[in-house]
Structure 1
Amino acid sequence: MENETIKIGLIGVGRAGYGMHLPEVLATDGKFDFAAVCDIDPARRDVFEKRLGHPVKFYSDVSALLQDPDVEMVSVATPSNFHTPHAIAALNAGKYVFIEKPIATSYAEALNLAKVAGQYPGKLFLRHNRRFSVEISKFREIIDSGILGEIFEIRFRIMNYDRRADWQAITECGGGLLNNWGPHLIEHALYFLDAPVKRSFSRLCKVAAAGNAEDHFNIILEGTNSRLIDIEVSGGCALSEPMYSFYGSRGACSCNDRRTIHLKYLDPGQPLAPLTAVADTPPLDASFGQSEKLRWIEKEVIAERPAGNGCAIWQCLYDSIRFGKAYPITIEQGLEVVKIIDTAKRGTQFEQTFKR
């Protein structure tokens, strides 16, 4: 079985299942393939098969797909409020499970998922796919190099103006930007915080979208190491800011296209003389700043995307299923992400109610 193709049963032939899972699987060089798909719209079978290049079994009932012996792994790509129940059903059917984000729409639901997954060790995998993006690896490399000094603040921004009116704008369907973009950026925040969360702040509001779900949120996390991460995601901001910004005691970097990283940092070869602050009255011709001449290095580096980069998460998934290698995203990490989202929503008009 070591080199055998992993046969997938896909639940949900939509924007995630058809638009992301399918092209990514096609790029895995045969490590994965689809044996069956399940959707409420039978017309999507032909479209799916045409892009895939071969026939698949089609089910309109999830339980029927889960009974298919040809399905080794179930990929859950349904709307957000179905992720947990479909994943639990697949685990109970003895399948490997690849679950889309958010893994749950409440912390209580996430804990239940983790409890069930504990009965099937090594079977549940979280699709927090943006951890595998090349710019995230490059940021980690830059931070670990020390050229920016001690990182004290990080900012993540996803900002546009979008009068959204699909199910993602409806709270009862698991919609809202916090369930949509939140898992990606909160997962990034916990990864770069490098310490437990000491305290947090959140604000959710609705600006431009239809429906009743939030289309703007702010979450600020402070670690026990005093590092602060400021997340803002909005469908109501007509002007944007850099997608990623990292600020350190010796420099900073930012990126707005997930590829080109702008760096500015103090020349490591320049010794900095000790400074002592004085309370004396400055002379009349004194400047308001420090007259010290600092040597700055300013440059751009490219986070190169190798061919097939979108397969990185699938390669890790394959290596874990076939060879028992550790999968980089743990269930405990996923629980922490959902806990932060749940805390942010609790007591607000956007608190999750269910429609299944």
Structure 2
Amino acid sequence: MKPWDKRDDMVVHEGEPFNAEAPAAALAAGVVTEVDGFYCRNHGTVPEEGPEEWRLVVDGLVRQELRLSLDALRGGFARCEVVATLQCAGNHRAGLMDVRDIPGEIRWGSGAISTARWTGVRLADVLERAGIEDGAAHIAFEAPDVAKDALPPQPYGASVPVAKARSGEVLLAWAMNGRPLPPVHGAPLRVVVPGWIGARSVKWVRRVTARAEPSTNYFQATAYRLPSGSGSMPLEAVAVNCGILRAGRGEAVGYAYAGDGRGVARVEVSADGGHTWTRAELDAPPGPWAWQHWRAAVPTTAGTELVARAWDCDGTPQPQCAAALWNPKGYANNAWARMRL
């Protein structure tokens, strides 16, 4: 096994901080990704803090500040389980780097995505216990892992609007796939924000703060944003996208995902570079916040370029060309998926 009890075939981009994408075999094996094959995205060293010492502070624009142990969370709130796909904002960055280099960024392929069954309590229930004041518009999360790539170096943080935080699918999770969270995935507690980029699902969360404005943390205010006019906008919901996981014996297999509960309506696959298309068989998702697997009968001879494209349930298609999506950080590439056999 590689570091952190991961599979030997994980695609490791960095050892410290540990950043690795899931191998295609792990993603294709089932709709729920095994923990040892789940992708990892970290900006700092994995914290070493046991559940005995750990406490969650809920503060800011609340009527009652809370300080909760893991036992208090388990015993004081209704338990909830959500099957949700998490995807790094840099998934498919390699396609953008093929257009133009992006120095200093990880060359993620199509494996910075995975799906798990998360267990914990609803963030909404904890916020209700604290009592959000009228002036609160955002909920910020703070973790202890210090990110050296932040300017200046600082602990990781992020925020989501109150409306998303109060949605029933957003969890404070202590387990994935029925097992306690491993340290590399956020033990003892992490945030899970289904449908949004993985950067908002803060690991090792130790503080939840109700604020009038978004978090000023580097990873909310500067990173994980797209250029927009003279400024930038934060990345939030994941756009419809797909990936090709394997091809052979006349069949292609892959995944498709549309964030914020939109679901995928259609996937098509081409074996001639996009001139003709075959509609793929699309599996039902295990829940509204999870990806779907697909398969299509297409020629798979050596030298063939397979292309796949998807539409979400709102009728929004994937864009064809990665060049039009290029940005200086290499985020949010949801252009057609391609695989040369």
Taking structure 1 as the reference length, what is the TM-score of the superposition? Answer: 0.22
Q: Which has the higher strand share?
A: 2
> Which structure has greater helix proportion?
1
TM-score normalised over the length of structure 2 = 0.23
